[in-house]
Amino acid sequence: MAEFKHKHIIALRDLSKDDIEMLLSSAESLREINSRDIKKVPTLRGKTIINLFYEASTRTRTSFEIAGKRLSADTVNITTSSSSATKGETLSDTALNLLAMKPDIIVMRHSVSGSHYYLADKVNCSIINAGDGAHEHPSQGLLDLLTMKDKFGRLDGLKVAIVGDITHSRVARSNIQGLTKMGSSVFLAGPPTMMPPGVERLGNVTVCSSMKEAIQDADVVMMLRIQQERQGKTLMPNAREYSRYFGLNPENLKLAKPNAMVMHPGPINRGVEMSSSTVDGDQSWILKQVENGVAVRMSMLYHVCGGEIE
């Protein structure tokens, strides 16, 4: 059987199709634990995980913490607002000080793209990327793949439309990397100001001139949040105009395949990128994505620790 050889998980770009299949397969096995009365196994007993979040998070931070605890690891959470980063401590100094406490894994979210590679060079524990700037969000990409696989039983041959602020979306980048490796075709749509030049060079990726073209006959419609915190200046006229051209609603969703699934990584701007009725509608898999986030993160923690079961 193939072995997971990566000490760190920083980007889906760094993983092979076999690596991704292994992470998804372990998530499928591990998720049964989440439905038990006693949701705990000893797999990572004695391991210490530090969740170091320099940016806000609800889903990712909580599910990494739950994932660690369900595998019996000791988990510690640090957010910048309550850390010495507010006193000017550098990332490097913070990491070296945390390392002195002998963690096995640091899970980090940071606003600077590539900061995890910098950190991985300086420490001897595993680094997992919980989102770095506009670069990648590998755990989100993996949970999205798992959710699509749950619905369709496969990933190859799917038409996946990703709509919104592609330029600033680490979720889009991880999904493009993961989906194209697994044999899906990706169709992108968004305002020209939010479409990175050359993105079609990433593989089986088509940049569409309209949202209609992207979602026509799609198996999956993935909507993205407008990342106003990463946009140096306003890149759209106003929310109403954006919603008119790039918002998902029950009318334009009819362009996709009848059984198409609707996804969004959250948090959602209801009424901007999606109507509330679409967020809460029958085709929405958004809360299933969140549920799968725990299993995928259990799998990631398990594999960077060497995949040993006690």
290 vs 136: CA distance, rounded Å: 18
Tokens of 295: 């299993």
- Contact region for ligand CP (CB under 6 A) — 19-27, 56-64, 93-101, 278-286? 56-64
Task: State the minimum distance, in angstroms, from the CB of residue 249 to ligand CP.
Answer: 22
Q: Is 57 in the site for ligand CP (CB under 6 A)?
A: yes
Nearest-5° angle of CA 125, CA 128, CA 129?
A: 140
Tokens of 159: 């038409």
Range 115-134, binding ligand CP (CB under 6 A): 131
Residues that bind ligand CP (rule: CB under 6 A) add up to a total of 9
End-to-end CA separation in angstroms for the chain: 19
| Residue number, 207 or 286, with CB nearest to ligand CP | 286
| Residue number, 170 or 252, with CB nearest to ligand CP | 170
Closest CA to 121 of 96, 143, 103: 96
Q: Is 238 in the site for ligand CP (CB under 6 A)?
A: no
Please say whether the dihedral angle defined by the alpha carbons of residues 212, 213, 219 and 222, taken in this order, is positive or negative.
negative
Element (H, E) at 129: strand 126-132
Q: Is 138 in the site for ligand CP (CB under 6 A)?
A: no
- Contact region for ligand CP (CB under 6 A) — 32-40, 183-191, 212-220, 261-269? 261-269
Instruction: Give the one residue of 25, 58, 81, 276 binding ligand CP; rule: CB under 6 A.
Output: 58
Query: Beta-carbon neighbour count of residue 112 at 10 Å?
Result: 12
Is residue 109 within 8 A of residue 135, CB to CB? The reply is no
Instruction: Give the one residue of 140, 177, 252, 275 binding ligand CP; rule: CB under 6 A.
Output: 140
Task: State the minimum distance, in angstroms, from the CB of residue 190 to ligand CP.
Answer: 18
Q: Is 266 in the site for ligand CP (CB under 6 A)?
A: yes
Element (H, E) at 187: strand 185-189
Q: Is 174 in the site for ligand CP (CB under 6 A)?
A: no
Closest CA to 160 of 171, 168, 279: 171
Is residue 244 within 8 A of residue 211, CB to CB? The reply is no
Instruction: Give the one residue of 265, 272, 286, 305 binding ligand CP; rule: CB under 6 A.
Output: 265
305 vs 65: CA distance, rounded Å: 16
| Residue number, 207 or 263, with CB nearest to ligand CP | 263
| Residue number, 140 or 252, with CB nearest to ligand CP | 140
| Residue number, 59 or 288, with CB nearest to ligand CP | 59
- Contact region for ligand CP (CB under 6 A) — 38-46, 72-80, 98-106, 262-270? 262-270
124 vs 290: CA distance, rounded Å: 30
Exposed / middle / buried, residue 21 (Cβ in 10 Å: 0-12, 13-18, 19+): middle
**Chain centroid to CA 96: how far?**
27
One character per residue 175-214, x = contact with ligand CP (rule: CB under 6 A): ----------------------------------------
- Contact region for ligand CP (CB under 6 A) — 23-31, 58-66, 144-152, 301-309? 58-66
Instruction: Give the one residue of 26, 43, 48, 60 binding ligand CP; rule: CB under 6 A.
Output: 60
Backbone dihedral angles phi then psi of residue 215, each to the nearest 5 degrees: -90, -10
- Contact region for ligand CP (CB under 6 A) — 76-84, 186-194, 260-268, 298-306? 260-268
- Binding residues vs ligand CP (CB under 6 A): 57-60, 131, 140, 265-267
